[in-house]
Amino acid sequence: MLSAYKILIFLSTLTKLTDALDTSSPLLLNFEVHRGDSDNEMSIHNKLFFEKRADDDGKVDMKLTNDQVMYITTLKVGSNEDEVKVQIDTGSSDLYVMTPDVDCYYYSYSYRNKRTLIDIPTYFKRANSEACTSYGSFDYKKSTSFKKTEDVEEFYIAYMDNTDSAGFYGSDKMQVGDATLETAYFAVANESSTNSGVFGIGFRGRESAYYYSYENIPLRLKSEGFIKKNAYSLFLNSENQTTGSVLFGAVDHAKYSGPLTSIPIVNSTEEYSSLSSLLYGIDFYAGGEGGSNDTYSISSSTYQTLFDSGSTLSVMPADLIYRFGESLGGYYSSEGYYAVPCSNSEDVYFTFDFGGAKIKVPLSSLLIPSKSSTTKCYLGLMENVGEYIVLGDNVLRSMYVVYDLDDLSISLAQAKYTNDTDIEEIGSDGGIPSATKAATYAANSYDYSTIYESSVTAVATYATGRLPDEDEYSSYSYTAFDSDYYYTLYNTYDYNTDDYDSYLSSLTEDLYSTHTATNDYTTTRSHTTRSLAASSTSRISSTGSSSTRGSSAKGSSIHDSLSVKCFTLIFGILGTVFYF
């Protein structure tokens, strides 16, 4: 019979040898922040501002310049370690890269919708492949380890900035930061209207394929043992900095101040697909010299709120933006934004309350300067037609955000801009280190209505993609079917009047009065946790390009490492057994 002492030795040895198999460690991926008006104009030096521009008719208008933001990092793909630069996007879930011979095209834009900031394409032109591969490409034909995924649907993704990419799915080796994935699943684009790929790190439910489901890169990092949980921290850094980071599987306590508070992820569908939660209130504080030192309530209503790092500006209902503008003594300008006095004071700020997690956002972060005036600024809030909020880059910079996709939570704290580090790994069990649940965490029960089947036909006249001199235009019809989003984007173009517009229509409201709808079925149901009616149709992700010096991956294969550790474990156990 084994003595208690020998049993303790055996258990201790087994624990140490098991720990030796643990290959997980925090994975830091740095990125550069680029801004611009289009793919070809992205730069880390561009700033957001309004300027006067004249159109073709000589009419002078105010235009928002450098309104797109990209977070660019570097990956190495395949047996030849082809270097590609891709945009990190929390609002999508697919990773795709370009082939060297990609069929590249670009749109010609003649009109920008002021309300949505979307450039409306009138036609597209073919371009050389180099236009879509200037930031790297992956030659899958020369990679000896690439495997094309057979018998699945083709890859296709489109964004609300009117860029899209198409191709096929496959798998190969990939270096992500200091991690080398033996099997990474991604898409290869052989058609595209943008010149960089996108690195989507969102929910699996947001993947583009309808019938084909796979483990995206964050899930592969977990499956291959690099991280213990599908969770990551996002640090956008201050506005005057050009770098930021995403930290997979860990929290950097040096990057925030005050408490780290967890709130539940709230989605409007059974399958989680968006990184959103509930905002319970917004307050405004005017302090400092000349300030009243009073706190005013901007809103005490509850809104479903999407955290969208791919959006430059934040999106809110019109009445909420009105209260922002009113609190600042501003006025609604002809440019479609509130004009307000410029301010750099740190003592004037808004507090966003997520049910206990309170984040201060300086007024200066929400202001867009005017190139023609040093005293007049514009409020960087865009109007939407729904009762939801999208927090973009101008608000998220004030937050340190930890997304836990396994346990469906978001942890928030006030961002602290520093180069110091204090990194702690997120374990497989339990919550986020040092985070406490918000007081309202378990109180999210809502009734909501969902149109789960809707066939809507809309007809408009538009350019079919031919060049203007071909004079061939036609009409088209399409079916809108999307149980996740309540609002659908429609583009309309009248060739006779040369009128182009883009607008959002609600499936539950104005759509019935303006379009023909058939086979509509509406159901009302109650969810006890994390459910709410509204959902977002903001530009969930923006595609674009820019140069960067991201971290390249290093390290040996995880399989090689495991084989050594497995031998160690086996000999250790045998030695312990023979000892007994």
Q: Which of 121-130, 175-184, 234-243, 467-476 has the highest mean pLDDT?
A: 175-184
Confidence (pLDDT) at 9: 60
Confidence (pLDDT) at 42: 55
Task: Read off the tokens for 391.
Answer: 């927090």
- Helix and strand numbers (H, E) in the chain are 8, 38
Which of 106-110, 137-141, 192-196, 338-342 is predicted with the least confidence, judged by mean pLDDT?
106-110
Angle among Cα 106, 371, 42 to the nearest 5 degrees reads 30
CA atoms of 317 and 298, how far apart (whole Å): 13
pLDDT tens-digit map of 165-212: 999 999 999 999 999 999 999 999 999 988 789 999 999 988 998 888
Instruction: Choose between 35 and 49: higher pLDDT.
Output: 35
Confidence (pLDDT) at 121: 42
CA atoms of 360 and 285, how far apart (whole Å): 10
The stretch 295-305 carries a mean pLDDT of 93
Confidence (pLDDT) at 288: 63
- The alpha helices in 390-475, defined as continuous H runs, are 393-396
pLDDT range class, residue 421, cuts 50, 70, 90: very high
pLDDT range class, residue 160, cuts 50, 70, 90: low
CB-CB neighbours of 318 under 10 Å: 11
Confidence (pLDDT) at 126: 63
Instruction: Choose between 74 and 51: higher pLDDT.
Output: 74
CB-CB neighbours of 99 under 10 Å: 21
pLDDT at residue 114 is higher than 70 = no
Confidence (pLDDT) at 12: 55
Confidence (pLDDT) at 224: 96
CA atoms of 359 and 398, how far apart (whole Å): 7
The kind and range of the H/E element at 7 are helix 4-20
The stretch 26-30 carries a mean pLDDT of 91
Angle among Cα 420, 426, 431 to the nearest 5 degrees reads 120
Per the listing, tokens 């934040």 go with 314
The kind and range of the H/E element at 221 are helix 217-223
Task: Give the CA count within 13 Å in the CB-facing half-sphere of 543.
Answer: 27
Confidence (pLDDT) at 463: 27
Superfamily covering domain 245-445? Acid Proteases (2.40.70.10)
The stretch 341-363 carries a mean pLDDT of 91
Instruction: Choose between 376 and 252: higher pLDDT.
Output: 252
Q: Are 28 and 255 in contact (CB under 8 A)?
A: no
Confidence (pLDDT) at 294: 80
CA atoms of 392 and 191, how far apart (whole Å): 29
Q: Exposure of 57 by Cβ count < 10 A (0-12 exposed, 13-18 middle, 19+ buried)?
A: exposed
> What fold, for 29-229+545-552?
Cathepsin D, subunit A; domain 1 (2.40.70)
Q: Which distant-in-sequence residues (6+ apart) come within 8 Å of 200 by Cβ?
A: 89, 91, 92, 93, 94, 95, 206, 207, 216, 541
Confidence (pLDDT) at 163: 82
* C-alpha dihedral sign at 288, 293, 298, 302: positive
CA atoms of 7 and 14, how far apart (whole Å): 10
User: 58 in helix, strand or coil?
Assistant: coil
pTM of the model: 0.71
Using alpha carbons, select from 68, 44, 50, 63 the residue that is nearest to residue 368. Answer: 50
Q: Are 500 and 120 in contact (CB under 8 A)?
A: yes
Q: Are 62 and 376 in contact (CB under 8 A)?
A: no
What percentage of residues in the chain have a pLDDT greater than 90? 40
CA atoms of 231 and 247, how far apart (whole Å): 9
Q: Are 347 and 360 in contact (CB under 8 A)?
A: no
CA atoms of 540 and 285, how far apart (whole Å): 30
Task: Read off the tokens for 290.
Answer: 């000349």
Using alpha carbons, select from 405, 393, 409, 386 the residue that is nearest to residue 536. Answer: 386
Q: Are 277 and 409 in contact (CB under 8 A)?
A: no
pLDDT range class, residue 10, cuts 50, 70, 90: low
Task: Give the CA count within 13 Å in the CB-facing half-sphere of 70.
Answer: 33
The full set of domain ranges for the chain reads 4-22+559-579, 29-229+545-552, 245-445, 448-527
Q: List, in sequence order, every beta strand (DSSP E) within 154-235.
A: 155-158, 164-176, 179-192, 197-200, 231-235
DSSP 426: P
pLDDT tens-digit map of 507-530: 333 332 333 333 332 322 222 233
Please tell me if the domain spanning 29-229+545-552 has the same topology as the one spanning 245-445: yes
CA atoms of 460 and 386, how far apart (whole Å): 24
CA atoms of 402 and 88, how far apart (whole Å): 15
What percentage of residues in the chain have a pLDDT greater than 70? 61
pLDDT tens-digit map of 450-498: 322 222 222 222 222 222 333 333 332 322 333 333 333 333 434 344 4
Instruction: Choose between 413 and 442: higher pLDDT.
Output: 413
- pLDDT, averaged across the chain: 72
CA atoms of 580 and 577, how far apart (whole Å): 5
Q: Are 519 and 453 in contact (CB under 8 A)?
A: yes
CA atoms of 129 and 399, how far apart (whole Å): 39
Catalytically active residues are 89, 308
